[in-house]
Amino acid sequence: MLYRITARVPWCSSELDDKGVRAATGPGRSFSGEVGMTISSEEHTTAIEKAAMEVRSLVAEHLGVDSKLVSDEARFMKDLGADWLDCVELIIAVEEDFGIEFADDEVERLVSVGDLIRSVEAHQRIATN
């Protein structure tokens, strides 16, 4: 991923690095540049876990099952007793709650709670990029 980073660094001077990227490295100067890296932040992790908890809650609510049964491995039809219509209604509820839309072929691959959580997270990543 490429992130645009701007930071004010009080202790450096401006110079080119070995790749020809200008780095502001002097008193009161700012650095601004693009870097390829993955940022792992507490906020990102919290947002992902919040989405997972919301999906699990929607599953329990729409399928009328105890939330303790709603694990990532739980399959909608085999483990949670959902029928085809229950699954369709659940998908619609998730789409409305998260403001996303699943493609038909994607819906066919959503067999377990974990599948649904990962798909919601993927849609959220796409929306934020």
Known catalytic residues are 83
Distance CA(17)–CA(8), nearest Å, equals 18
H/E element holding 107? Answer: helix 104-108
H/E element holding 19? Answer: none
Taking alpha carbons only, the member of 74, 93, 73, 97 closest to residue 85 is 93
**Distances from the Cα of 64 to the Cα of 42, 70, 77, 113, angstroms:** 32, 11, 13, 14
